[in-house]
Amino acid sequence: MTANPICLQEAIEKWNCAGGESVLDFSSADRIDAATARALEELADRSSVRITLRGVNIGVYRALKLLNLAHRFSFVS
Amino acid sequence: MTENLSSLSDDRIAYLEGLVRQGRTAAAIFSQFTQQDVDRIVKAMVLAGLEQAQYLARLAIEETRLGLLEDKVLKNMVATEFVYDYVRDKPSVGVIREFPERGLVEVADPIGLIFSVTPITNPTATVLFKCIMAIKTRNAVVFAPHPKAWRCCREAMRIMYETAVKHGAPEGVFTCVEEPTIPDNVYLMHHKDVRLIDATGGPGAVKAAYGSGKPALGVGPGNTPVYLEKTAQLDMAVVDIITSKTFDNGTICASEQTVVIDDEIYDTVLQKFADLGAHICNEKETAVLGRAVIDPETGAMQPMAVGQKATDIARACGLRVKPDTKLLIAPIQGVGRDYPLSVEKLFPVLAVYRTRSVDEALRVCVDVNHLGGRGHTAVIFSRDDEIIRKFSDVIDAGRIIVNSPGSIGALGGVYNDMVPTFSFGCGTGGGNSTTDNVNLYHYLNIKRVARRTPAHMWFRVPNQIYFNLHAVENLRQFPSRSTVIVTNPHLEQMGLVDIVRRAIPAETPVRVLSIPDAEPELKVIVEGVAALNLHKADQIIALGGGSVIDAAKIMKLKYLSPEVDPEELAAPFLDIRKRVVRYPAGNGTQVRLIAVSTTSGTGSEVTPFAVMIDKERGRKVTLVDYSLSPDVAIVDPQFVMSMPRKLTADTGIDCLTHALEAGVSILASPFTDSNAMQAIRMAFKYLPIAFDHPENEEARSMMHNAACIAALAFSNASVGVNHALAHAFGAHFGVSHGRANALMLPHVLAYNASVPTKFMPSPNQRAYVADKKYAMVADILGLGGDTVAGKVRNLVRSTEELLDRLEIPRSIADLGISEEEFGRAVPDLVKIAFDDPSWLSNPRMPLMSELSELFWSAWRGRSPANAAAEPVAAMEGLRV
């Protein structure tokens, strides 16, 4: 399934309120779409803490590399 | 470029950046798609394109005012249906091709964002074509159509884009520059996120694409020559040319421009053209037409003529033609600026030239081809294959269309099996990167996954080997009309020739050719071949040691193939299967070579090697080929019973060296190992006995067999660095080959058993095993040792003890060669040893400094046994 950009948007808002450690679980996302990519970029722009993406598959990881976004996140299995 | 970019406003730059951003994002997202995803999208796009073919054609006509509606519809259909037919079953995601027998897999990767320039002449068809290719290959495209065709192109792109996105393609996968300008193009061509430029259009766009420094597919203009040769089917040719040249009013750049017609058929052909609606211009009309449609200053087409009907052009020029005229045909007498109509004409005006010969025809076609059309397209109508071949040789064109229309033929898939395209690569002649019909493979990065493939190995030996005492009696079974025994005077005096003669059937005529007891010279070979010819020999018996048998091998080679130059056959090679020179297959004459060995060392009776001296050129010539191997080997110990002790020792150590080197060679195999190990075992056991008790028949027999068995191993696994050192040293100081080998042997064992400075590349070796194989030898010999290192040490020590037992000097210094004399020689010896092919199969690749050190170790002669294998112990835990 494709990651849901609406959920990501909600996550951004919650983070900005909560602060602290930020982990996004991508383990059920087979791929990302353009909206998700934009949301992730915005998230990286706006968040003051380092964001970790969990369970990112290699296809999504490669897409993030092509988008020049991968370096803005940490990744855990 | 700076000048071009300075005219771009900030807003315009922001706009262009937005297009690139969308495309880059789409390309990244697209990289995650599967083959099924893209195939589903492509099919939907093709159906949408077909559905809208007429609509888009109409838009193109309205905007560009070029071409014919009906033909533009056909173009749009070819760009969708025919292109789809080509791509539908072709994998373009992940693994696209596999070659299991070669261990190769091709994996497709998208390119990313492509910037695509499209032409005014084929606007919508080109966009449809490029959209389908891009989706099939998971790429995104920013289109920059010709400024006078951007609306219809944008609409074609919109239909493709909306269909693609509806079926799952990423947003932003296609965008189109609105009202594109040259500065826009320059900006995008230089943009860091554009990965490929695909420029289909005029020379300016193509040149700019290549000038950007980006990877580019630039495909440009043509000037298609046509040779209408007298053997052609004229009715077909005339119809094809009219069909092609009038298709879309001649806007396809592959369409015919100048038809060169044989004199014999010229008038007939022109009449046929006229009968089918062409207007044949007279001289005055041709001049008027040329001035009107070609700019006299630049020599380029006048825009007013491009893509217009013949009747409209005629009217504009003031020519009076019939209202149904399809084509204006203008006879010309030459090619170049003085003949304006000899250039490219993207409208239904066709030049014709009457030729008096094939040579003249080809020359004129080449002239047309080089007048702005190099690399593009050429056409020939002929039934003469030889003329078609000549035409293909001399014409510089990516597409040579035979007996079919140029424009539609070049598009591919209709009249021939070429790849359907709307971009014609023109090769370097046209300043392009490809001569192909541009297709989906040009939109892919194709990765080759190359698996390790073990090289094919072999074990080649003579057909028949007879051994043990009185094995020579087997000669009786070989009938011969004329036999020549090659031997040397010494063996003749010893009566060995008589033994052989007695074993030959009485009715066989036998002649003896006695040659000097030394490595054979070319002169000896020549004389030997003369004798073989004189006696019409069908059987050669080589009786002797390595020199005699080698001479006989080369005599047989020259006898069967007099034209060969041994010097040329001796050219260096790295892999016998891939070497440059090929040995002759012979002339079909069967000549049997039987080798009867009289020493127990070289094993020449079974090897594919032969050495000769070329005195004129002052060098040794080593020939290697399995065709040199004797047909029959006789390994009869009665011929070695009287070998002197020193010769017994030297040749015996040569045999041992062969086996030890073959055993650790990178070409070693289980087949050669079995022979090498057995020969080592026999040499260690029987060589001291044969040395101490020359009359011991068993020991002599076993050593004679051991030499042959070792030769079977090194004939297939080759030797190593020991031989390279010994060859160089022995030749320089006049030391016998076996003795030179002996002086190097312990040092080379220690050297090969230690961790290499450089490994030898070898697909057959999966680990460095030389030390382990030496340890295995130690086990076979029962030398003891608890570790690999310990066993190697014991092998080196035992080898040294064997050399001592055989009374072989243990250092080069012991031969009376001073340190100064040796020091002067070493630099050259190193160079010679490094040029020696023997070490190419050594497990370690020797550095020149290491060769030098080995020479000096041999000079000092200090025992390497204690030093041997220490580094191996350190590495032990790392080995598999």
B590 and B614 in a common domain: yes
Contact A34 B171 (CB under 8 A): yes
pLDDT confidence of residue B869: 47
In this structure, the number of other CB atoms found within 10 A of the CB of residue B26 comes to: 27
B412, part of any domain: no
Full DSSP string of B306-359: TT--HHHHHHHHT----TT--EEEEE-S--BTTBGGGS--SSSEEEEEEESSHH
pLDDT confidence of residue B208: 87
Nearest-neighbour CA in chain B from A62: distance (Å): 8
B121 and B141 in a common domain: yes
Say if residues B346 and B330 touch (Cβ distance below 8 Å).
no
Say if residues B141 and B23 touch (Cβ distance below 8 Å).
yes
The residue range of the domain holding B668 is: 644-878
B233 and B191 in a common domain: no
B215 and B228 in a common domain: no
Please report residues of B whose CB lies closer than 8 A to that of A32.
29, 32
B421, part of any domain: no
Q: Are strands B592-597 and B539-544 parallel, antiparallel or unpaired?
A: parallel
B615, part of any domain: yes
B626 and B684 in a common domain: no
SS (H, E, C) chain A: CECCHHHHHHHHHHHHHHCCCEEEECCCCCECCHHHHHHHHHHHHHCCCCEEEECCCHHHHHHHHHCCCHHHEEEEC
Of the residues B219, B252, B270, the one at which a domain ends? B219
pLDDT confidence of residue B201: 79
B678 and B803 in a common domain: yes
What band does A4 get if pLDDT is binned at 50, 70 and 90? low
B676 and B604 in a common domain: no
- Please give the Cα distance from B741 to B180 (Å, whole number): 79
CATH number, domain containing residue B229? 3.40.309.10
Q: Facing residues of B465 across strands? A: B633
Which residue is closest to B109 within chain A, CA to CA?
A62
Q: Which residue ranges of chain B lie beneath pLDDT 50?
A: 868-880
Instruction: List the Cα angle B109/B113/B116 in 5-degree steps.
Output: 115
Full DSSP string of B126-142: HHHHHHHHHHHTT-EEE
Going by C-alpha positions, the residue among B165, B143, B181, B193 that lies closest to residue B21 is B193
pLDDT confidence of residue B764: 82
Domain count across chain B: 4
CATH number, domain containing residue B732? 1.20.1090.10
Produce one character per residue of B135-162: b if its CB has 16 or more CB atoms within 10 Å, e if not. bbbbbbbbbbbbeebbbbbbbbbebbbe
Which is it for the CA torsion B637, B643, B645, B647, positive or negative?
A: negative
B151 and B209 in a common domain: yes
B382, part of any domain: yes
Q: What strand order describes the sheet that includes B224-228?
A: B278-280, B327-331, B349-355, B256-262, B224-228, B375-381, B397-402
B432, part of any domain: no
CATH number, domain containing residue B138? 3.40.605.10
Please report residues of A whose CB lies closer than 8 A to that of B36.
none
- Domains of chain A, CATH where assigned: 5-76 (3.30.750.24)
B720 and B610 in a common domain: no
Nearest to A34 among B26, B31, B33 (CB): B26
Going by C-alpha positions, the residue among B624, B629, B628, B627 that lies closest to residue B579 is B624
- Interface residue A19 vs chain B (CB under 8 A): no
B798, part of any domain: yes
CATH number, domain containing residue B585? 3.40.50.1970
pLDDT confidence of residue B643: 94
- Interface residue A50 vs chain B (CB under 8 A): no
B423, part of any domain: no
What band does A77 get if pLDDT is binned at 50, 70 and 90? confident
B252, part of any domain: yes
Q: Annotated catalytic sites of B, by residue? A: 253
| pLDDT single digits (tens) B171-205 | 999 999 999 999 999 999 999 999 999 998 777 88
Q: Is B470 helix (H, G, I), strand (E, B) or coil?
A: coil
Say if residues A48 and A19 touch (Cβ distance below 8 Å).
yes
Of the residues B177, B203, B219, the one at which a domain ends? B219
pTM more than 0.90: no
B20 and B60 in a common domain: yes
The amino acid that residue B635 corresponds to is: V
pLDDT confidence of residue B321: 97
Nearest to A66 among B31, B33, B171 (CB): B31
Is a pLDDT exceeding 60 seen at residue A6? no
pLDDT confidence of residue B4: 62
B755 and B610 in a common domain: no
- Interface residue A59 vs chain B (CB under 8 A): yes
Of the residues B600, B615, B638, the one at which a domain ends? B638
B242 and B209 in a common domain: no
- Interface residue A3 vs chain B (CB under 8 A): no
Please report residues of A whose CB lies closer than 8 A to that of B112.
66
